[in-house]
């Protein structure tokens, strides 16, 4: 293989101009790579094909955590493909490609390597059917299990990695797809997922919940919550389906959770006012009683740990997760190093809600976050623009990340600031972005050189000086 690669590189060098005119992947035949080259998570995603749609059709038995069924992937090879990988950790029974059993498949950790019977042609319609059964809570990848059993079911909710515990796929935000997620559970059990509930028929003691997502979605944003839930279906912002679900037995936080999450349409309306059209087809929120130590912006339907409502209603977490529908879900990271584009913006959206509700201006919140951490606080050693794979969700990405946006706003003024952000989400809708692209975009809209500001706030260790050079008044 190495020899062939060398030859291919040599050939590319001599006829680089000719190749430049061809689409990516043209002229190559061979295996797809086992990763898309994310610097933090090199084996995430796979090369050689592009997924358009996942049809996930499962059956789940909560009493023994048995998950079984098939996932059908509709995709397109981006090169002539002799072999490809899927990210999947559960035990596989069989795989068919384009209707035919594959020649071989092998599995190591979450890398499932598939050799089809024949070479798959670039641009052709590719279907991959994976049949599987396993107990996800027992399956470890790099020593951990992201799938969580609860006393009444399970939750498949995590970031950046969850999909390989419940469906095979191309697990990286650069390959988004539409989803049909269908799960049968014993009658009397509920299943929540993304998008719109198309039906939930019951036959011979099993209820099959059929959920559909019609807008492109990253694999980590697809979720399942199985258990005993109170489900409420209403009309949300702009007449869209608004589905909320609360675990039975939430205890004393139930009222505070409802007093927050039922206000999702109001939060969405506020965010539409800031950022432009809501990008998806439905809204909602889910509170599982166990299994979650965080909140997550699952597309169309964020999920919340009950802990967020310990002290009463909490609109900040609702605004944060719904802001991610624009920042993270619609405009997704190109690689995980760019996580500031998600968390900095979602956190700054909380500051804007605070400002709008008279609970403290963004400047006051900036001053508070800046002032409460002395220069020798290790907080200032984590770079929001490159936090490292083990600190993707470090406070610095959130709080120093929001401070960065406030520094930008102070430097360019409200008009340029909000028009920068609005046009960013419009131009990048359903796509991927990098911090460098955002900086270039902000410079273009404001007509100002902003390299130094971003270098200081995102990419330089230590507590930034506040004053003329940062653009933020002390």
10 Å Cβ neighbour count for 397? 24
CB of 346 to Zn ion, least distance (A): 4
What is the contact surface with ligand ARG in residues (CB under 6 A)?
Answer: 158-159, 294-297, 320-321, 343, 393
CA distances from 444 to 156, 172, 395 (A): 41, 29, 29
Q: At 378, phi and psi to the nearest 5? A: -60, -20
Of 149 and 320, CB closest to Zn ion: 320
Of 206 and 379, CB closest to Zn ion: 379
d(CA 340, CA 363): 20
Q: Give yes or no for a contact between 74 and 114, defined as CB atoms under 8 angstroms apart.
A: no
Of 97 and 331, CB closest to ligand ARG: 331
Of 88 and 220, CB closest to ligand ARG: 220
Matching residue, tokens 């969850």: 162
Q: Which residue is nearest to ligand ARG (CB)?
A: 294
Of 67 and 218, CB closest to ligand ARG: 218
Q: At 67, phi and psi to the nearest 5? A: -120, 125
296 binds, among ligand ARG, Zn ion, none (CB under 5 to 8 A by kind): ligand ARG
287 binds, among ligand ARG, Zn ion, none (CB under 5 to 8 A by kind): none
What is the contact surface with Zn ion in residues (CB under 5 A)?
Answer: 343, 346
Of 126 and 156, CB closest to ligand ARG: 156
CA distances from 292 to 90, 150, 154, 249 (A): 21, 10, 10, 15
CA distances from 103 to 48, 96, 112, 114, 115 (A): 18, 9, 14, 8, 6
393 binds, among ligand ARG, Zn ion, none (CB under 5 to 8 A by kind): ligand ARG
Q: Which residue is nearest to Zn ion (CB)?
A: 346
CB of 40 to Zn ion, least distance (A): 17
58 binds, among Zn ion, ligand ARG, none (CB under 5 to 8 A by kind): none
Q: Which residues pair with 31 in a beta bridge?
A: 83
Residue 60 token pair:
């789940």
């Amino acid at each position: 293989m190495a020899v062939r690669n060398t030859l291919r590189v040599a050939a590319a060098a001599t006829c680089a101009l000719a190749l430049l005119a061809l689409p990516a992947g043209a002229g190559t035949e061979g295996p797809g790579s086992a990763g898309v080259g994310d610097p933090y998570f090199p084996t995430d995603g796979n090369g050689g094909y592009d997924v358009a749609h996942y049809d996930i059709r499962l059956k789940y038995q909560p009493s023994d955590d048995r998950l079984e069924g098939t996932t059908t992937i509709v995709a397109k090879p981006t090169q002539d493909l002799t072999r490809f990988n899927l990210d999947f950790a559960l035990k596989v029974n069989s795989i068919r490609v384009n209707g035919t059993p594959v020649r071989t498949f092998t599995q190591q950790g979450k890398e499932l390597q598939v050799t089809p019977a024949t070479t798959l042609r670039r641009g052709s319609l590719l279907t991959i059917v994976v049949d599987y059964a396993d107990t996800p809570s027992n399956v470890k990848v790099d020593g951990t299990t992201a799938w969580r059993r609860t006393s009444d079911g399970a939750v498949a909710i995590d970031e950046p990695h969850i999909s390989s515990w419940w469906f095979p796929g191309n697990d990286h935000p650069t390959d988004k797809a539409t989803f049909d997620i269908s799960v049968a559970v014993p009658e009397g059990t509920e299943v929540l997922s993304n998008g719109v509930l198309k039906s939930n028929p019951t036959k011979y003691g099993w209820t099959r919940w059929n959920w559909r997502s019609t807008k492109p979605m990253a694999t980590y944003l697809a979720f399942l919550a199985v258990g005993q839930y109170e489900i409420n279906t209403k009309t949300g912002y702009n007449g869209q389906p608004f589905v909320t679900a609360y675990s039975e037995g939430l205890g004393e936080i139930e009222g505070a959770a409802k007093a927050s999450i039922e206000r999702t349409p109001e939060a969405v309306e506020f965010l539409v006012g800031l950022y432009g059209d809501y990008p998806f087809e439905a809204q909602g929120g889910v509170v599982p009683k166990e299994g979650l130590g965080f909140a997550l912006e699952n597309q169309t339907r964020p999920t919340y740990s009950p802990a967020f409502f310990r002290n009463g209603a909490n609109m900040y977490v609702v605004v944060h997760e719904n802001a991610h529908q624009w920042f993270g879900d619609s405009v997704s990271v190109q690689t995980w190093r760019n996580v500031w584009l998600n968390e900095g913006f979602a956190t700054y959206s909380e500051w804007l809600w605070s400002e709008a509700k008279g609970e403290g201006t963004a400047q006051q919140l900036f001053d508070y976050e800046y002032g409460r951490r002395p220069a020798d606080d290790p907080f200032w050693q984590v770079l929001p623009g490159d936090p490292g794979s083990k600190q993707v969700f470090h406070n610095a990405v959130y709080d120093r990340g929001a401070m960065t946006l406030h520094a930008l706003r102070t430097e360019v003024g409200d008009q340029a600031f909000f028009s920068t952000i609005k046009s960013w989400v419009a131009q990048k809708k359903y796509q991927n972005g990098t911090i460098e692209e955002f900086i270039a975009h902000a410079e273009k809209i404001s007509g100002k050189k902003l390299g130094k500001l971003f270098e200081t706030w995102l990419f330089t260790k230590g507590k930034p000086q506040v004053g003329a050079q940062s653009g933020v008044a002390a």
